[in-house]
Amino acid sequence: MREKKQWLIVTFYTTSAAMAAEKACEQAGLPGRIIPVPREITSDCGLGWRTEPENRERTEALFQSLALETDGYHICML
Amino acid sequence: MIYLDNAATTLHKPSCVIDAVVNAMRTMGNSGRSAHAESLAASRTIYAAREALADLFGCARADHVCFTANSTEALNIAISGLFAPGDHVLSTDLEHNSVLRPLYREMERGVSVSFLPASRKGCIDYAGFDRLLQANTKAVVCTAGSNLTGNLLDLTRIGAFCAAHGLLFVVDASQTAGVFPIDMRAQHISVLCFTGHKSLMGPQGTGGLCVAEGVDIRPWCVGGTGVQTFLPSQPPQYPTRLEAGTRNGHGIAGLLAAVNFIRETGMDAIRTHELALARRFYEGVKDADGVRICGDFSDPVRAPVVALNIRDEESSVMADALAEDYDIAVRAGAHCAPRMHEALGTVEQGAVRFSFGYYNTEEETDAAIAAVRELAEQ
């Protein structure tokens, strides 16, 4: 298995929101990628945006500026 | 074969649409079910289609573009999900059964509906909306244009009426999407229902509804969504709220290509071409002996549809003769528009509908004119 480290995982209520987030981050030059939401966050399935924890402020500001609805911001060892 | 049944479905699609569907069928997984490359390819394509359609229709939010199999399904979702017993709804005689039957079903459960009558020319008197308005009126549900006569309804005017009286405005854009500009915000449209396979030139099995912000539609179909799995009810957020089960990702990829084609070609250029052919056909047959045209042609801005009859000849006999003897594909019968045929007085005879598309030519139009004139002489 890969060595685990801390990540910021942003979760969403819909796949559509996850896609909007991915596109927004790509356009803003914010690194990260879409992953399946880890079950330690929720057992509810869905897609999350994974990025380095230090990107939280920029990511949150970006999503807020776009009125992009998020379910939550989580720090996980993955 | 000369295909003049574009109001039923556009047979000839842009090659980019076909390529997109084939490519999607080779590469796309199930949208929203996983984060592997194939699933994400589907999710990204479908999201891009939401953005493209939101832009095309002036829908404020891409995530409020919900995909269905066609406009009938979209209209069923909207009409069954907006009203409650005791509500009153306004509609018109121009409607297709995709509007009428969902409304009739609502009537069975206590919703009342008033239909603005159409004249013998298939037109409505807009002042009638004011006369039919009641204290419990909740919405206007109407088509953007008659699939039988091609006459358009003035969405801007009806939208202003809805805004003035606090009504929802549900529009069936089956016959005009992609050819006539629609702006949900400017026209105060609450729910815009569209199909992908007609004037949008996309694949069959695609369509949807664009929902304005703040409009809550009860889900008609509930089930798997790929998100919020342990929630017993359908997730409340759009578009998932109205999208249970796997979307038609392959078709939606084609629909996205079709919308991009329309953008690149220009809606104005498409409309100008189609309307010129329809007008050419109308001018070529209107004075032929025994030909009776359905609808009003005084306004040049109309859907590219010409429905007619020759004397008292049954429309299905005419359509069969056109197919067999002239290799011209048209549609006969009642066109799923019973109230409109009642208004026009063509319930028994039906009508032969010639509908023009972007890939039709002047030569084909002239051949159809010659065929009608020849049949009229017999």
| Per-residue pLDDT tens over the stretch B83-131 | 999 999 999 999 999 999 999 999 999 999 999 999 999 999 999 999 9
Residues B239 and B208 sit within 8 Å (Cβ to Cβ):
no
Residues with Cβ < 8 Å from B209, sequence gap 6 or more?
B65, B66, B68, B74, B75, B77, B78, B191, B192, B193, B194, B217, B242
Average pLDDT over residues B20-45: 96
- B117 and B237 in a single domain? The answer is yes
- Of the residues A10, A14, A70, the best mutation for testing chain B's interface (the one with the most B CB atoms within 10 Å of its CB) is A14
Contact with chain A for residue B29, Cβ under 8 A: no
The rounded mean pLDDT for chain B is 97
Average pLDDT over residues B236-260: 97
- B110 and B28 in a single domain? The answer is yes
Contact with chain A for residue B244, Cβ under 8 A: no
- Write out the two tokens for B354: 């010639």
Contacts with B226 from chain A: Cβ below 8 Å? 15, 45-46
CA distance B372 to B365: 11
Cβ separation A19–B47 shorter than 8 A: yes
Q: Which of B40, B201, B113 is nearest to A15 (CA)?
A: B40
Nearest-CA distance from B60 to chain A in Å?
12
Q: For the domain made up of A6-77, give the CATH fold.
A: Alpha-Beta Plaits (3.30.70)
Nearest by CB to residue B50, choosing from A16, A45, A69, is A16
Cβ separation B237–A43 shorter than 8 A: no
Residues B195 and B174 sit within 8 Å (Cβ to Cβ):
yes
- B86 and B57 in a single domain? The answer is yes
- State the ipTM, two decimals: 0.93
- B80 and B160 in a single domain? The answer is yes
CA distance B76 to B66: 13
Percentage of chain B beyond pLDDT 70 is 100
Coil/strand/helix, residue B322: helix
**Domain boundary at B223, B244, B265, which?**
B265
- B96 and B65 in a single domain? The answer is yes
- B109 and B32 in a single domain? The answer is yes
- B121 and B215 in a single domain? The answer is yes
| B30: closest chain A residue by CA | A15
- B115 and B197 in a single domain? The answer is yes
pLDDT digits (tens, 9 = 90+) for A24-54: 999 999 999 999 999 989 888 899 999 999 9
Cβ separation B34–A43 shorter than 8 A: no
pLDDT digits (tens, 9 = 90+) for B169-192: 999 999 999 999 999 999 999 999
Contact with chain A for residue B40, Cβ under 8 A: yes
Residue A23 has pLDDT above 90, yes or no: yes
Block residue for tokens 């009153």: B88
CA distance B332 to B310: 12
> Number of A:B CB contacts under 8 A?
64
Number of domains in chain B: 2
- B322 and B310 in a single domain? The answer is yes
Range of the domain at B204: 15-265
Please report which residue ranges of chain B form alpha helices under DSSP H.
Answer: 15-27, 37-57, 71-82, 97-108, 127-132, 155-165, 249-265, 267-285, 315-326, 338-344, 362-377
- B261 and B271 in a single domain? The answer is no
Block residue for tokens 């066109």: B335
For B139, other C-beta atoms within 10 Å of its C-beta total 23
- B252 and B361 in a single domain? The answer is no
CATH number at residue B280: 3.90.1150.10
CATH number at residue B94: 3.40.640.10
| B64: closest chain A residue by CA | A16
Phi-psi map region of A29: left, alpha, beta (phi>0 left; psi -120 to 50 alpha): left
**DSSP state letters, B232-273:** SSPPSSTTGGG--S---HHHHHHHHHHHHHHHHH-HHHHHHH
Residue B240 has pLDDT above 90, yes or no: yes
Show which of residues 46-105 on chain B sit within 8 Å of chain A, judged by CB atoms: 46-47, 50, 62-63
Report the pLDDT value the prediction gives residue A44, as an integer from 0 to 100: 84
Contact with chain A for residue B240, Cβ under 8 A: yes
For residue A1, name the pLDDT band (cuts at 50, 70, 90).
confident
Report the pLDDT value the prediction gives residue B298, as an integer from 0 to 100: 95
- B71 and B103 in a single domain? The answer is yes
Residue B196 has pLDDT above 90, yes or no: yes
pLDDT digits (tens, 9 = 90+) for B99-109: 999 999 999 99
- Write out the two tokens for B348: 């028994």
CA distance B142 to B127: 15
